[in-house]
Amino acid sequence: MIGRLFKFHGGIKPDAHKNESAGPAIQRAPLPERLVVPLRQSARATANCLVEVGQKVLKGERIGEPEGFLGTAVHAPTSGTVVDIARHPMAHPSGLDTECVVIEPDGEERWIEHAPFDYHAASREESLAWLRDCGIVGLGGATFPSHVKLGKGAGVETLILNGAECEPWITCDDRLMRERAADILAGATILRELIGARELVIGIEDNKPEAIAAMKEAVAASGHGVSVVAVPALYPAGGEKQLIRVLTGIEIAYGKLGGDYGVQCFNVGTAHAVYRAFAHGEPLISRIVTLTGNVDNAGNWEVLIGTPIQDLLPLARPRPDTDRTILGGPMMGFALPRLDVPIVKGSNCLISASPKLFPPAPPEQPCIRCTECAKACPAELQPFELYWFSRSRNFGKAQEYHLFDCIECGCCSYVCPAHIPLVDYFRFSKSEIWARERDKAAADQARERFEFRNFRQEREKAEKAAKLAAKAAETRAKLAETSTAETPAGEATDDPKKALIAAALARAKAQKAEVQPQNTENLSPQTQAEIADIEARRKVLAATAATTDAPSVAGPTADAPAAGTDAAAASAAPDAETRS
């Protein structure tokens, strides 16, 4: 099994702040007045609505039909009445909206009939379909559909269960492991069977001794051959690629999936949901959410999907000087632009923030090329080079220096003595590049259409010319015929026509060959999901650039990378020039 641990480059050790919320046991959040259940629950796929306004639904009843390769089903989190089906803002940095089913709970929590699913008696395809129909997606944050991640069921040697939870403040996986270790383990062994892996390794950061002990105990009780491994607490050890690297030494390149390397990784929360789906036939309708930060009553709550965040926050009793709420951890999360948005399957933590707890970043200073950022970067990039390229909008160079290998972990921004919001620059560059990519794709299409028209016109011209030539040849031939009996007229009529058409074709082909291949082809579903996300962000950027009073959520760094909005952009130009 796992012999020695590997290291990944860089990483940082921010204050963990786990104690605030790790103590109390998971509580059940009370039913809100309304549940807003988005039909878009998994990355890049929106379910087909199955209900109508006024319809009564039961807890666990399917309200959204999975659609497409990445689709998963959506269920009513409780019993009640559908009161509205409309677009509603989401917990998204830009407050993007999506189609939602609004349910008014009847308070009875009446379950729809549900029964365990015996995956031993079913085919693998049926089991995967069951997961899809139970709405199981990755609960680590990416909400990638688990049935897709389970893949072909071959070629994966090692299944890794991610219990690292490396982001500061978040403790939902910690509590889940402490309290429901056996269920997690049961779910994990089902996943192992479905993916056809030999090995199952549970990786947990060593700052969670209780969770490690609980999982070890569960493993011992089950008699399964599973290793529970304490990995050194070093952010971002819980990043999927980093954890795989630490446990197996395997490095997964950008755009690749673990499956390509014989290893796959699931979050502990996902394993728990898988267990509920198979052992109890329950769809994924709730998750554990950490409420912490500037609050008096931090802890973890089991929350129904669709619960509005503003209904949830009072449970933790935020202190009066709370000025924003961060969804996710402080390293990769974002301040919510509005609080009337629902908890979704990927929402793991809400941090009440105050200026004291998360002071605004000090003013940005010039980069002194100290390479602290490069030392901290787990993707082994040279962030300061990417920063120069992003600032001068030299996106080609940025890509050459592997901009897209950046996992946006924020380590570089964390360590930078010049307080440069490096990740913000990288997010900006990525979205710009995708936008250009998309514009180019559109342009390519237009060009193809144009070229085809050209080709057609040329062809028609050629045909006309050929016809004329043929006619001329014919007359010549006729003339010749009168003088000599034998004539090569047949060839003469064919040749010029053929040659002209061939020439036109060749031209068209050559033009087509010049059209560069798009690098958006052959992408993995995960990458496509990333693209979708980035596009969404880009829209926001465009919006903030257009309107100055757009909701600016996070203090002084807010506009720095949004080019064209302020002094940062203005000052970027001359500096960039002197540099290049």
Partner 1 sequence: MIHSPYVRKPVSVQRTMGLVLIALLPGIAAYAWQAGPAILVNLLIASLTAVLAEALAMWLRRRPIGLAVGDLSAVLTAWLVALSLPAIVPWWLTVSAVLVAILAVKQLYGGLGQNPFNPAMVAYCTMIVAFPALMSQWPALAGGFDAQLQLILGGARELDAVTGATALDALRTGLRTAGATVESVSAGPAFGVFGSQGWEWVAVGYALGGLFLLATGIITWHMPVAFIVALGGTAGVFWLIDPAQFASPLFHLASGGAMLAAFFIVTDPVSGATTPRGKLLFAAGVGLIVWLIRNFGAYPDGIAFGVLLMNICVPLLDMKTQPRVFGHREAAGGDQ
Burial of 101 by CB count in 10 Å (0-12 exposed, 13-18 middle, 19+ buried)? buried
Of 136 and 234, nearer to partner 1 (C-beta) is 234
CA proximity to 116, closest of 245, 301, 277: 277
Taking CB under 8 A as the criterion, the residue among 114, 224, 319, 419 binding partner 1 is 419
Among partner 1, ligand SF4, none, what binds residue 107 when CB lies within 5 to 8 Å by partner kind? none
Q: Which of residues 424-483 bind partner 1 (CB under 8 A)?
A: 424, 427
Taking CB under 8 A as the criterion, the residue among 23, 417, 488, 490 binding partner 1 is 417
Taking CB under 8 A as the criterion, the residue among 261, 266, 275, 301 binding partner 1 is 261
Q: Which of residues 436-475 bind ligand SF4 (CB under 6 A)?
A: none
- Confirm or reject binding of residue 408 to ligand SF4 (CB under 6 A): yes
Candidate segments 162-170, 253-261, 410-418, 555-563, binder of ligand SF4 by CB under 6 A: 410-418
| 433, containing H or E segment | helix 422-483
Taking CB under 8 A as the criterion, the residue among 153, 196, 525, 555 binding partner 1 is 555
- Confirm or reject binding of residue 379 to ligand SF4 (CB under 6 A): yes
Tell me the residue length of the chain: 580
Q: How far is the CB of 264 from partner 1 (least distance, A)?
A: 14
Q: How far is the CB of 345 from partner 1 (least distance, A)?
A: 19
- Confirm or reject binding of residue 372 to ligand SF4 (CB under 6 A): yes
Q: Strand 27-28 vs strand 97-105: parallel, antiparallel, or unpaired?
A: unpaired
Q: How far is the CB of 245 from ligand SF4 (least distance, A)?
A: 13
Of 468 and 543, nearer to partner 1 (C-beta) is 543
Phi, psi (5° rounding) for residue 334?
Answer: -145, 155
- Confirm or reject binding of residue 140 to partner 1 (CB under 8 A): no
Distances (CA, A) of 86 to 74, 89, 157, 347: 15, 10, 44, 21
Among ligand SF4, partner 1, none, what binds residue 9 when CB lies within 5 to 8 Å by partner kind? partner 1
Candidate segments 262-270, 370-378, 434-442, 525-533, binder of ligand SF4 by CB under 6 A: 370-378
Question: How much helix, strand and coil, in percent to the nearest 5, is found in the chain?
Answer: 40, 15, 40
Of 126 and 380, nearer to partner 1 (C-beta) is 380
User: How many residues make contact with partner 1 (CB under 8 A)?
Assistant: 79
**CB-based burial, 326-357: b 16+ in 10 Å, e otherwise:** bbbbbbbbebbbebebbbbbbbbbbbbbbeeb
Q: Which of residues 200-259 bind partner 1 (CB under 8 A)?
A: 241, 245, 250-254, 256
Instruction: Answer for the pair 167, 328: CB distance below 8 angstroms, yes or no.
Output: yes
Is the peptide bond preceding residue 236 cis, with omega within 30 degrees of 0?
A: yes
| Residue with tokens 């941090």, as numbered in its chain | 351
Of 278 and 389, nearer to ligand SF4 (C-beta) is 389
String of contacts with partner 1 for each residue 370-389, x by CB under 8 A:
xxx-xx--xxxxx-xx----
Distance CA 390, CA 416 (A): 16
User: What single DSSP character describes residue 563?
Assistant: T
Q: Which of residues 413-432 bind ligand SF4 (CB under 6 A)?
A: 415-418, 420, 422-423, 426
Token digits of residue 162: 């991610």
Q: How far is the CB of 91 from partner 1 (least distance, A)?
A: 12
State the sign of the Cα–Cα–Cα–Cα dihedral 274, 275, 278, 281.
negative
User: How many residues make contact with ligand SF4 (CB under 6 A)?
Assistant: 30
Helical H runs in 66-180? 124-133, 146-149, 172-179
- Confirm or reject binding of residue 166 to partner 1 (CB under 8 A): no
- Confirm or reject binding of residue 158 to partner 1 (CB under 8 A): no
Helix pair angle (181-195, 172-179), 10° resolution? 100
| Residue with tokens 């109508």, as numbered in its chain | 52
CA proximity to 444, closest of 528, 520, 533: 520
Among partner 1, ligand SF4, none, what binds residue 95 when CB lies within 5 to 8 Å by partner kind? none
- Confirm or reject binding of residue 237 to ligand SF4 (CB under 6 A): no
Q: How far is the CB of 345 from ligand SF4 (least distance, A)?
A: 25
Single-letter residue type at 186? A
Residue 419 region, left (φ>0) first, then alpha (ψ -120 to 50), else beta? left
Q: Please give the residue ranges that form the binding site for ligand SF4 (CB under 6 A).
A: 367-373, 376-379, 381, 383-384, 387, 406-412, 415-418, 420, 422-423, 426
